[in-house]
Amino acid sequence: MAQSEGIAGVDSYVIYKVESTYNTAVTPDAVFGLITNFRSTVKNNMKAHRGFTGTSEGGRNIVKFTAGKLDVGCDVDFKVQDWSFMEYVMGSISGSDPYDYDETSKLPSITISNNIDNPGSSSTDQCETFSGSLINSAVIRTSVGEPVTCSLEIKSALETIGTSLDSNVSLSTNDVFSFIGGSIEIPDGSQLDNIIDSIEITITNNVEILYGTGSRLGQNGIVHGRDYSIKTTLKYLDNDLITKALGAVTPTDTGGPTENATVVLNFASGEKSLEMTFSGVPMEEFAQASEINNPITDDITLTAKSVSFSDDRDE
């Protein structure tokens, strides 16, 4: 009899919900967006033990294993239809859609479930539940005229497997967001004229799952310092960017790159929009690419001190 393999996104779905208490699982009831990829990971951190040779064991061979910390989590990629997930990246939310997402020192934890409705006639379903989940990083990518996508790397305290599926929920009816433009001020009040081709924003929370004696399971989760990175590709116009990267036409012993005033990025979906404004933005990396008969491009990577969010159509 032929097998009936499950097809991702046809026989499976992923949903989530914020937890009231860390690592106390709740029943998920929301979607991140139009999910295109999901990957779960289990790492046992096995410890190998060797000793002096015995009558049947060689000294170079492993004699015993000990299970280490249970390290679980998942990655999810999706097309952005709304930005509500940013509450669990930034830590706080206020106002109304498209909301303001404020920087806080503590992140809300979420429960995520990956549900596989097994199409096999005699097979059981799978509900993979991650509790105590914290978003370690969010990578937002887009280029002009293309949809905005997001990749989340998530660390969890616990993963359990069940055979009863969580009830699925309706997908959002919102349009997918697209990149409608951006500006970079160097150093202040003077926007670059370069054409911006693409943007990649990375917000890293540096999550650590805490473990204690007597258990290999995660007990709590904390976040360390937050990092922002913006990568962008622009069309070459002049020597301004490479000079800013070097800090001067001729770099000096104690000089460094200019701390740019702001990077402003605008995203739109129908009547909705979101503007991200990064402040205190020096250049981390610069690269220039020249391909025969094509425009010369400048690839830059910027770091930032902070970010704020607003609806740019209100301005």
pLDDT band at 123, cuts 50/70/90? Answer: confident
DSSP 276-293: EEEEEEEEEEEEEE--TT
pLDDT at position 186: 65
Is the pLDDT at 303 greater than 60? The verdict is yes
In a domain, 32, yes or no: yes
Q: Which domain holds residue 297?
A: 12-45+65-314
Average pLDDT of span 159-177: 94
- Which residue is listed with tokens 């289990």? 42
pLDDT at 97: 66
In a domain, 238, yes or no: yes
Is residue 155 in a domain? yes
Nearest Cα residue to 36 out of 147, 194, 175, 167? 147
pLDDT digits (tens, 9 = 90+) for 195-254: 888 899 999 999 999 999 889 999 999 999 999 999 999 898 888 888 888 887 888 777
pTM of the model: 0.90
Dihedral (CA of 286, 290, 291, 296) sign? positive
pLDDT band with cut points at 50, 70 and 90 for residue 182: confident
pLDDT, tens digit (0-9, with 9 covering 90-100), for 65-110: 999 999 999 999 999 998 989 999 999 888 776 677 888 878 999 9
Quote the number of domains for the chain.
Answer: 1
Q: What percent of the chain has pLDDT over 90?
A: 55
Is 172 inside a domain boundary? yes
Q: Any bridge partners for residue 215, and if so which? A: none
Task: For residue 185, tell me if it sits in a domain.
Answer: yes
The answer to whether residue 199 is domain-embedded is: yes
Let me know if residue 56 belongs to a domain.
no
Domain assignment present for residue 133? The answer is yes
The answer to whether residue 2 scores a pLDDT higher than 70 is: no
